[in-house]
Amino acid sequence: MTVFESDSIIAQGPNKTRIAAGASHRLIALSGDGEAGVLGGGMNHSGQLGGGSRDNESTFSAIDTTGMEILAVACGREHSMLLAKEQDIDSADSKQSSEATASGASKKTMLFGFGNSMYGQLGLGGSKDTFGKELIGEQVAGFVFEPSPTQVQLLDPNENVVQVECGLDHTVLRTDQGNLYSMGWGADGQLGLGPESSSDRALPTLIERLSWKARGKEVGRIKEISTSTDFTLALLENHQIWIWGNAEYGQCMVNKKIDRILEPIHIPHPIPKTEVIASVAAGGTFGLLLTESGKVYTCGYGALGLGHDKIQILMPEQITALSGVRKIVASTDYAAAIDDKGDLYTWGTCGKTGRLGHGDFEHSYVPKRVKMPLEQDGRKVVVHDVALGQDGALAVVEYDDK
């Protein structure tokens, strides 16, 4: 575990920092005067670092975002998305969340994509099936990519993207008008476009079942979406849970395994009625639910946090080793939680990179607290955010100088 520091970057607090991790690349976005914009590091075979080239970066390189406020970054296997708006000097010190900032802003949000677009996951109109579409940048025969941030357009110019989430090779967008869009690989139903559609899409395509401009008003407005691999969880403002995509591991929480779900379905989960769902996190073989009281529930297959004896469950079960949790994050086969004390816990399969942060390469079948390097100096470390990639994780922390 290492600490990233730079004398050329003036951090303006955890509320100004956005992080994301893909299969083998990472993005750190910083907003404010004197800051460096978006920093990228790791594998760059598809131009997923956004610097205009396809060279790998062993250290972090910067994308200039002068004049823009970064609202969110997201990473897939080899593609990246960046959500921003023009910098508003009057609100530069605001502590609002990225969603509140975006939906309440007078200036329109801007969505940019860069990296691999073989399946159309950037939403720019190009894919392996549409080589007739000219993309900006260098082209390689049989390979579609965009090495520089390029703006993604929705059909409605008045619609603002307020959340962007990347799966391995697809992307899901939520807008301020209560609509959901998806693009990219669709073979496992991860685009959620309906029982007759499992094809790839190279442009943002409306998920009609949950969008207000289609059938979404029947069920309610979307509060949050989560995807990291090839299925998606959606939380509605009325606390309902909906799911679509790959469900062959029982992560669909309906007491059975389903090969794939092509259109969003409602999950009548068995969590006690006294508990209100506050957040969701979709891994690859499992899903997580967080309640307003800080309890975490899991369902699916793998090192689920329930111990060695429970690696497959088909209905949500509470991870009793966790309490007072305020944030959950899931990746393909491991997960993380941050509690109300600012402590970070991880569990799942570890891999050769030691990505769980426990100082070893062992799998963890129950959540374990991650000890930060700065704690060795007696500092109190508070974790504000965490991003999980397939080969490593990033965390935003705050600590007192000594």
Average of pLDDT values for 207-232? Answer: 96
pLDDT at residue 208 is higher than 50: yes
pLDDT tens string 87-117: 765 544 444 444 544 444 457 999 999 999 9
My answer on whether 398 and 316 are in the same domain is yes
Asked whether residue 164 is assigned to any structural domain, the reply reads: no
Cβ burial, residue 214 (10 Å; 0-12/13-18/19+): middle
How many Å apart are CA 358 and CA 364, to the nearest integer?
9
Give me the pLDDT at residue 141, please. 52
- DSSP strand pairing (296-301 vs 286-291): antiparallel
Asked whether residue 178 is assigned to any structural domain, the reply reads: no
Q: Report the Cα 67 to chain-centroid distance in Å.
A: 24
Residue 162, both tokens = 């307020």
Q: Name the pLDDT band for 55 (thresholds 50, 70, 90).
A: confident
Average of pLDDT values for 255-266? Answer: 96
Asked whether residue 53 is assigned to any structural domain, the reply reads: yes
Domain edge (last residue) among 131, 159, 187: 159
How many Å apart are CA 216 and CA 72, to the nearest integer?
25
Q: Which residues of 176-197 are buried (b: 16+ CB within 10 A; e: fewer)?
A: bbbbbbbbbbbebbbbbbeeee
Asked whether residue 260 is assigned to any structural domain, the reply reads: yes
pLDDT tens string 112-164: 999 999 999 999 998 988 764 444 445 555 679 999 999 999 999 899 999 99
My answer on whether 147 and 234 are in the same domain is no
pLDDT at residue 245 is higher than 50: yes
Determine which helix (DSSP H) or strand (DSSP E) holds 102, and give its type and residue range. Answer: helix 98-103
* Structural domain that includes position 276: 207-402
My answer on whether 155 and 270 are in the same domain is no
pLDDT at residue 399 is higher than 70: yes
Give me the pLDDT at residue 7, please. 43
CA of 92: how far to CAs of 3, 305, 377, 384, in Å? 26, 40, 33, 20
pLDDT at residue 318 is higher than 70: yes
What DSSP state is assigned to residue 90?
G
In single-letter form, the type of residue at position 20 comes to A
In single-letter form, the type of residue at position 52 comes to G
Residue 276, both tokens = 């209100």
My answer on whether 212 and 334 are in the same domain is yes
CB atoms near residue 136 (< 10 Å): 11
For 311, residues 6+ apart whose C-beta sits below 8 A from its C-beta are 301, 302, 303, 304, 365
Asked whether residue 390 is assigned to any structural domain, the reply reads: yes
312 in the Ramachandran plot: left (φ > 0), alpha (ψ -120 to 50) or beta?
Answer: beta
My answer on whether 331 and 213 are in the same domain is yes
In single-letter form, the type of residue at position 382 comes to V
Q: What percent of the chain is modeled with pLDDT above 90? A: 70
My answer on whether 134 and 10 are in the same domain is yes
Asked whether residue 180 is assigned to any structural domain, the reply reads: no
Asked whether residue 328 is assigned to any structural domain, the reply reads: yes
Domain edge (last residue) among 127, 159, 191: 159
Asked whether residue 185 is assigned to any structural domain, the reply reads: no
My answer on whether 149 and 233 are in the same domain is no
My answer on whether 363 and 219 are in the same domain is yes
**CATH number of the domain that 80 lies in?**
2.130.10.30
My answer on whether 86 and 234 are in the same domain is no
In single-letter form, the type of residue at position 373 comes to P
My answer on whether 257 and 326 are in the same domain is yes
Number of domains comprising the chain: 2
My answer on whether 154 and 219 are in the same domain is no
pLDDT at residue 298 is higher than 80: yes
